Structure 1
């Protein structure tokens, strides 16, 4: 069995999915690709079950919020081929009033808690999730704390006024 390379992985993905996956880059050797939410579950199944690729371990699911972009949320999946010790990052850009994406619990049962955490902090709804509710924050919290919707500092704070520091 030959060692998997990023070129070989991306070639295999393009062979299967064509232009539905795009190459983003290789920061620190970690290949990053982009996919749409319509193809993400098929892509994850393919990565897991393909005899050559065998990305059989879901390391993480998280998100990022870019409020100025057309699709302000990126859902990020990290998968790992444990046999050849190679990792892959997959980004899916989504938007909408209530950002939604299909659940990865149909591929990995362990995605359950990762998706709940991503929902809890970013408000991303995972369609078909068996138990999508808050995991770390209070149930009655009506905001999602990792969204960049609020100023970094409270403008009413008085302990940072210049006169306290002799300026």
Structure 2
């Protein structure tokens, strides 16, 4: 075993740091973590890394009491898939591309990439065209995704230029199929067109995603907060949002708020 690997292993062992100092990831451990990315098929581009997490629970400094302060985990998104996708996935993508072409659009400028992962189909769409794609997915006789189960927000604060994701889950009652559409936007310009004209049930879901993640759905009929007061500052489900809390008195002892007890990242 090389010295670098020995250092990485030692860094992940409980009790391997100096007394009174929390475990810190060494340079060797960080390098080992950066290499811990799932390998894609030969000839494919490297998987996009959206985050590198250190420790067991994200604690920093001397606050990690788990004994895994030197643990380094690389978080990578699945890359674009190659044809054939398998099953009915190819049919759905082919029909969607055909419909877009008939409308005078270049599918390559509408569909960012197609991902097949864990037997699920995800079509990543450029945000300017999400309404057009939803219209095609709902109305074409060979697609017929009549129902949108809602839109979910996701926040990757370290995914530069693509920090915010909006994920739409579509269900075809006619063909008994389910597909996922995904749109990204930067934190500096968190705007995505609304799909309420095509899927009216998304009215509430888009409001909730705005409330919790701060994605602005342009053209929404009444974009307002759902859980928080209208004058609330910030969006609580973003990963960089402070934990907050109030002091709690328990059996004569005062327990301070979570974000003042430990430093979570």
TM-score range, shorter chain: 0.7 to 0.9
User: Normalising by the residue count of structure 2, what TM-score does the alignment of the two structures yield?
Assistant: 0.54
Alignment of 1:5-154 (within 5 A): 5-17=88-100, 18-19=107-108, 20-21=110-111, 22-27=113-118, 29-69=119-159, 70-150=161-241, 154=258
Count of aligned pairs: 154
Inter-partner Cα distance in structure 2 for 1:9 and 1:39:
17
Superposed displacement of residue 96, structure 1: 4.1
User: Normalising by the residue count of structure 1, what TM-score does the alignment of the two structures yield?
Assistant: 0.84
Inter-partner Cα distance in structure 1 for 2:199 and 2:150:
11
Inter-partner Cα distance in structure 2 for 1:105 and 1:40:
11
Instruction: State the 4+ residue runs in structure 1 displaced beyond 4 angstroms.
Output: 151-155
Q: CA RMSD in A?
A: 1.9
Superposed displacement of residue 139, structure 1: 2.2
Inter-partner Cα distance in structure 2 for 1:100 and 1:110:
20
Which residue of 2 is the match for residue 157 of structure 1? Answer: 261
Inter-partner Cα distance in structure 2 for 1:48 and 1:123:
27
Q: Is the 8 A contact 2:152 2:168 kept in 1?
A: yes
Higher RCO, 1 vs 2 (CA within 8 Å, ≥6 residues apart): 1
Q: Can you give the 5+ residue segments of structure 2 that lack an aligned partner in the other structure?
A: 1-86, 101-106, 244-256
Q: Is the 8 A contact 2:144 2:175 kept in 1?
A: no
Q: Is the 8 A contact 1:98 1:123 kept in 2?
A: no
Superposed displacement of residue 98, structure 1: 4.3
SS at match of 1:141: coil
Q: Which stretch has the larger CA shift, 11-20 or 118-127?
A: 11-20
Q: Which has the larger radius of gyration?
A: 2
